[in-house]
Amino acid sequence: MAGAVFTPIAARPAPAATVGALGWVRANLLSSPINALLTLAALYFAWKVIPPSLDWLFFNATISGGTVAECKTAGEDGLIVDAPGACWTFVKVRFLQLMFGLYYSGNLDQVWRPVLMFALFVGLMIPLFVRSFRKKLLLGAFIVFGFPFVAYALVHGEWLGLPVADTDQWGGFMLTFFLASVGIVGALPLGILFALGRRSQMPVIRAFCIFYIEMWRAAPLITVLYMASNLLPLFFPSEVDFDKVARAMIGITLFQSAYTAEAIRGGLQALDRGQFEAADALGFGFWKKSGLVVLPQALKISIPGIVNSFIELFKDTTLVLIIGLFDLLNMAETASRSPEWKGYDLEAYVFTASVFFVFCFGMSKYSQALERKLHTGHAR
């Protein structure tokens, strides 16, 4: 479609006295005696905390070699003690275990499989961020509906005739990634349905949706996981050997769908009634009205809420340790408890935290970019 592109007129520059580094410092840090005092206190605190942290993290840290000996030094009286900095050697040596779990760290000739899986994932994601790429929807649909099968085929191996890595051998970041992605991808459509259902005119559907949402919201994830792991098998014939990871995924997805539904319902409620009426008056049926008019707007409004619940989910996957799954955190903890690397749990936690930070921060930034991109100049 050809046509003029709307370009807003740039705002006038601010008066000179309020701009520049000096202006900023004066306005924000030293505007009153109390503010100046707080600024000083904060500076002192930063001085006490940041340099030692940097020393520990980087300047005094060890990453060379492959044994625990690298991280030890001779103390004053000749005794062997821990070096003053972090021992990243430990993370380096156990990296494959932390990333892909025990099967792959024990079968180095197979490591290419999860590596290829992640590489494919990243490669498929990149075009989504390229402005000129036109088929984003199609690609997105493939990532959601097609890629899980590719990932499973690669990592499990049976479908491709590769050595089988059973799901109970999956672990580390890879397991965290699978649990969170399945939870996110599964919860979104379910959440949409339950959010629409909760606003339905039909009492039976509405009551069912309210019951569903409130039931999951009333239970902590930890109980849900525990029940998924212990109760779910009771509903199936005993010869169905229900996979532990699959059980966790089902539990997480259903749990998450309730939160997603509530976030979306918030968006639905923020929509003007006139939007529904205009769609009705034009003759859209329920599904077209929902898909073309209501949801695009409601989802946009609820992006912050939805992403917020996804970030929470991502972190909450660490709870699977209570049903005996080795996600990144559990794996890190286990590795730091091995006799060889005893005492390096801080390194394990810092590493785990930074991996989580990168992903959660990335999701948050992506959602902000999405909100900006979808903004079309109207107030809502």
Partner 1 sequence: MENGNTENTEKPAQNGGAPPQNGNGEMCMSLNAVNKWYGEFHVLRDINLEVCTGEKLVVCGPSGSGKSTLIRCINRLEEHQEGRISVNGIELNDDLKHIDEVRREVGMVFQHFNLFPHLTVLQNLTLAPIWVRKTPKNEAEEMAMHFLKRVKIPEQAAKYPGQLSGGQQQRVAIARSLCMKPKVMLFDEPTSALDPEMIKEVLDVMVELAREGMTMLCVTHEMGFARTVADRVIFMDEGQIVEENNPEDFFNNPQNDRTKLFLSQILSH
Q: How far is it, in rounded angstroms, from Cα 268 to Cα 316?
A: 26
Q: Which is nearer to partner 1, 136 or 337 (CB)?
A: 136
CB of 289 to partner 1, least distance (A): 10
**Contact yes or no for 258/213 (Cβ under 8 A):** yes
Report the nearest approach of partner 1 to the CB of residue 135 (Å).
17
In this structure, what token pair is assigned to residue 159? 């479908």
Rank residues 78 and 283 by Cβ distance to partner 1 and give the closer one: 283
Taking CB atoms within 8 Å and a gap of at least 24, the contacts of 27-33 are none
| Rounded distance between C-alpha atoms, residue 105 and residue 40, angstroms | 49
Which one among 9, 202, 218, 281 touches partner 1, defined by CB under 8 A? 281
Cβ of residue 366: shortest distance to partner 1, in angstroms?
A: 19
The CB-of-9 to partner 1 minimum distance in angstroms stands at: 12
Q: How near is the Cβ of 11 to partner 1 at its closest, in Å?
A: 17
Q: In this structure, are residues 348 and 91 in contact, taking their beta carbons and an 8 Å threshold?
A: yes
* CA–CA separation, 91 and 98 (whole Å): 8
Build a one-symbol-per-residue string for 283-322: x at contacts with partner 1 by CB under 8 A, - elsewhere.
xxx--x---xx--xx--x----------------------
Answer for which of 214, 272, 312, 340 binds partner 1 (CB under 8 A) is 272
CA 367 → CA 32, 300, 310, 336, distances in Å?
A: 37, 10, 11, 35
Euclidean distance between CA atoms 296 and 196, whole angstroms = 13
Of 10, 11, 34, 379, the residue at the interface with partner 1 (CB under 8 A) is 379
Two structure tokens written together for 40: 């000083």
- What lies within 8 Å, CB to CB, of 114 at 6+ separation is 99, 100, 104, 154, 155, 174
User: Can residue 181 be called a binding residue for partner 1 (CB under 8 A)?
Assistant: no
Candidates 30, 282, 358, 369: give the one binding partner 1 (CB under 8 A): 282
Please pick, from the candidates 3, 33, 66, 339, the single residue that binds partner 1 as defined by CB under 8 A. 3
- What's the rounded Cα separation, in Å, for the pair 88 and 61? 7
The least distance separating partner 1 from the CB of residue 255, rounded to whole angstroms, comes to 30
Q: Closest separation between CB of residue 5 and partner 1, Å?
A: 7
Cβ atoms of 118 and 156 within 8 Å: the answer is: no
Choose which of 158, 214, 243, 277 interacts with partner 1 (CB under 8 A). Answer: 277
Residue among 39, 200, 275, 308 that touches partner 1 (CB under 8 A)? 275
Alpha-helical (H) ranges within 199-284 are 203-218, 221-230, 244-270, 273-281
In the three-class reduction of DSSP (H, G, I as helix; E, B as strand; rest coil), residue 305 is classed as: helix
Min separation Cβ 371 and partner 1, Å: 13
Is 110 exposed, middle or buried, given 0-12, 13-18 or 19+ CB atoms closer than 10 A?
middle
Instruction: List own/partner pairs for 75-83 with CB under 8 A and 24 or more apart.
Output: 82/343
Nearest distance from residue 278's CB to partner 1, in Å? 4
Residues 27-86 that bind partner 1 (CB under 8 A): none
Stretch that binds partner 1, among 150-158, 176-184, 261-269, 271-279 (CB under 8 A): 271-279
Stretch that binds partner 1, among 54-62, 121-129, 250-258, 370-378 (CB under 8 A): 370-378
Provide the binding-site residues for partner 1, judged by CB under 8 A: 1, 3-6, 272, 274-275, 277-278, 280-285, 288, 292-293, 296-297, 300, 374, 376-380
